[in-house]
């Protein structure tokens, strides 16, 4: 396929006397699908948020000072930053045509030089230097001094409009629709490289498909026979909505904290923030806004639900910041977060809190969490070389499988005890013995998860797998029919 630069008819490239102008490329959002100011700020602040006061102090002296200070302190691996491959390919084509390639960026010069080393086609770099923020008019002035005979410019933001106005050729990369319209008002661009849909990326970041996990909130309501209690249903629904919003916000927050690890991961590098499909600034806004909205909804269900959601948030943050790399503790924490959903459901609906049910939940979700770890370990150890995977070693695979299978069996055993000790004596069940269908069905679902994991076909998240797997969904649907029959009794013919 021809490059956009090659296919533009408005320039006399075929004239041997015509010398193509230099190609000037912006860095943030253009050559890289990243913003260095946000990248360095996140790298420096994510595990030490109190440093925000230093950031505000430097900002008082201007953005150039702030960028220089963050560049000096942030431990940012620039080799992991996502590249706009279309822009890189266009630049390589220009380089092969004999053109000079200049990287001109408002990022700090130290970081810009490190990035330029990744791209052999870059001839020179100009960048912010701690005093001058090389953006907009300042960048244009520098370019006009360097290239008085003209240049082509590739950029992405409204700050680039003065430069596009002065450039011979305009290349619009990853720009907002309003910026693209403003650029086209200056003349038809040589090339337009569109950006991914931000709305789709935001939805992917918030992971609404994971909300199915929060349906655990309704389990105590159902088991207690309170499905027709309007007040209980309303309170449980508000708790469910609150936890869904807070959970999505924590997914965004987790992806912000894990962005560097995700970029190293075989599949997580395609997540919206890690891949650059969604700017870090958007991730911060979605995380903060989601937490505020989620707690506002929880307040409608009462202070006890607010406390439960706060405990969930605290547990999630503790897991992300400290417990994730600790073997066994990590899966126990995840199982605890699942079980906390049941507890929140009990609190919201005013249903009795069964210790048997909570214990069953812990064992079941420890098993499923270990299946997730097993998938990661098995993939990392595919070449036979011993490696570390989030605190585990590839040599731990047999141990993880054994512990996961033992937890699965323990979960089924505890569920049987729950049936005999509590469920069969529940007054609201017309035919409780039908619940004997549940233990073998749960064994089939969890056993299938481990079977698929052992074959290396399980995605990172076994819960997401279970809600998409037709066989598992069929078993769950059958269980729903069985429970309704146990509640109402067999039909009279």
Tell me the pLDDT tens digit for each residue of 256-285.
999 998 999 888 899 999 999 999 999 999
Q: Is residue 360 part of a domain?
A: no
- Global pTM reads 0.85
Least confident of 238-242, 442-446, 455-459: 455-459
Q: Is residue 107 part of a domain?
A: yes
Same domain flag for 338 and 406: no
Tell me what pLDDT residue 430 has: 84
Structural domain span for residue 433: 366-493
Q: Is residue 359 part of a domain?
A: no
Same domain flag for 310 and 235: yes
Residues 6+ apart with CB under 8 A from 339: 358, 361, 362, 365
pLDDT of 193 strictly over 60: yes
The H or E element that residue 388 is part of is: strand 388-389
Same domain flag for 72 and 115: yes
Q: Is residue 333 part of a domain?
A: yes
Q: Is residue 410 part of a domain?
A: yes
Q: How confident is residue 455, by pLDDT bands cut at 50, 70 and 90? A: confident
Q: How confident is residue 17, by pLDDT bands cut at 50, 70 and 90? A: low
**Chain centroid to CA 408:** 29
- Strands 152-155 vs 169-173: parallel, antiparallel or unpaired: parallel
Same domain flag for 407 and 475: yes
Same domain flag for 346 and 257: yes
Tell me what pLDDT residue 454 has: 87
Same domain flag for 228 and 314: yes
pLDDT of 223 strictly over 50: yes
The 3-state secondary structure of 58-72 reads: HHCCCHHHHHHHHHH
Domain boundary among 353, 384, 403: 353
Domain boundary among 195, 215, 231: 195
- Please give the span between the terminal C-alpha atoms of the chain, in angstroms, as a whole number: 70
Residue 10 backbone phi and psi in degrees, to 5: -85, 5
Residues 6+ apart with CB under 8 A from 134: 104, 105, 106, 126, 127, 128, 142
Q: Is residue 26 part of a domain?
A: yes
Strand partners, 126: 104
Same domain flag for 175 and 78: yes
CATH of the domain at 23: 3.40.50.1000
Tell me what pLDDT residue 174 has: 94
- Strands 101-108 vs 23-25: parallel, antiparallel or unpaired: parallel
158-170: pLDDT as tens digits: 999 999 999 999 9
Same domain flag for 418 and 289: no
Counting the structural domains of the chain, the total is 3
CATH of the domain at 321: 1.10.357.140
Cα(268)–Cα(210) distance, integer angstroms = 16
Domain boundary among 178, 195, 212: 195
Token representation of residue 255 = 């992806």
| pLDDT over 70 percentage in the chain | 93
Across 17-31, average pLDDT: 89
Tell me what pLDDT residue 402 has: 95
| pLDDT over 90 percentage in the chain | 72
pLDDT of 225 strictly over 90: no
Same domain flag for 416 and 345: no
CA nearest neighbour of 351 among 420, 413, 428: 428
111-121: pLDDT as tens digits: 999 999 999 99
Q: How confident is residue 382, by pLDDT bands cut at 50, 70 and 90? A: low
pLDDT of 55 strictly over 60: yes
340-367: pLDDT as tens digits: 999 999 999 999 899 999 999 999 999 9
pLDDT of 397 strictly over 80: yes
Q: Is residue 358 part of a domain?
A: no
DSSP letter at 32?
A: B
Alpha-carbon distances, residue 360 vs 35, 83, 178, 451 (angstroms): 46, 46, 54, 21
How many C-beta atoms surround the C-beta of residue 308 within 10 A? 25
pLDDT of 21 strictly over 80: yes
Same domain flag for 134 and 166: yes
């Amino acid at each position: 396929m021809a490059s956009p630069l090659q296919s533009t008819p408005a320039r006399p490239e075929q004239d041997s006397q015509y010398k193509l102008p230099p190609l000037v490329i912006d860095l943030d959002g253009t050559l890289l699908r990243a913003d260095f100011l946000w990248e360095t700020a996140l790298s420096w602040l994510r595990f030490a948020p109190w440093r925000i006061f230093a950031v505000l102090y430097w900002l008082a002296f201007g953005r150039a000072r702030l960028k220089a200070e963050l560049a000096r302190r942030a431990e940012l691996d620039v080799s992991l930053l996502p590249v706009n491959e279309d822009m890189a390919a266009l630049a390589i084509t220009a380089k092969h045509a004999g053109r000079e390639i200049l990287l001109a960026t408002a990022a700090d010069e130290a970081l810009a030089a490190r990035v330029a080393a990744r791209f052999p086609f870059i001839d020179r770099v100009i960048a912010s230097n701690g005093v001058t923020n090389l953006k907009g008019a300042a960048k244009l002035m520098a370019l006009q001094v360097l290239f008085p005979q003209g240049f082509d410019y590739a950029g992405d933001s409204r700050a680039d409009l003065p430069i596009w106005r002065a450039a011979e050729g305009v290349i619009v990369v990853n720009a907002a629709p309003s910026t693209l319209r403003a650029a086209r008002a200056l003349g038809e661009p040589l090339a337009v490289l569109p950006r991914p849909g931000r709305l789709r990326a935001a939805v992917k970041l918030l992971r609404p498909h994971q909300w199915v996990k929060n349906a655990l909130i309704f389990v105590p309501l159902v088991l207690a026979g309170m499905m027709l209690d309007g007040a209980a249903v309303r309170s449980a629904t508000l708790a469910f909505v609150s936890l869904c919003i807070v959970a999505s916000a924590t997914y965004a927050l987790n992806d912000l904290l894990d962005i560097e690890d995700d970029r190293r991961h075989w599949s997580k590098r395609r997540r919206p923030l890690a891949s650059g499909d969604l700017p870090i600034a958007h991730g911060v806004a979605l995380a903060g806004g989601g937490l505020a909205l989620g707690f506002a909804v929880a307040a409608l269900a009462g202070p006890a639900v607010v406390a439960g959601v706060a405990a969930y948030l605290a547990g999630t943050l503790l897991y992300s910041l400290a417990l994730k790399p600790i073997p066994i503790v990590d899966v126990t924490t995840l199982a605890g977060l699942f079980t906390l959903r049941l507890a929140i459901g009990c609190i919201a609906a005013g249903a009795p809190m069964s210790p048997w049910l909570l214990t069953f939940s812990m064992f079941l979700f420890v098993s499923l969490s270990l299946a997730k770890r097993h998938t990661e370990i098995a993939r990392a150890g595919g070449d036979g070389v011993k490696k570390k995977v989030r605190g585990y070693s590839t040599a731990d695979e047999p141990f993880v499988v054994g512990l996961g299978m033992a937890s699965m069996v323990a979960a089924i055993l505890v569920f049987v005890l729950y049936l005999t000790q509590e469920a069969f004596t529940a007054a609201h069940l017309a035919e409780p013995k039908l619940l004997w269908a549940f233990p073998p069905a749960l064994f089939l679902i969890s056993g299938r998860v481990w079977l698929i994991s052992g074959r290396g076909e399980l995605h990172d998240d076994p819960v997401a797998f279970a809600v998409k797997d037709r066989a598992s969904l069929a078993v769950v649907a059958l269980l729903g029919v069985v429970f309704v029959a146990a509640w109402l009794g067999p039909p009279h013919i």
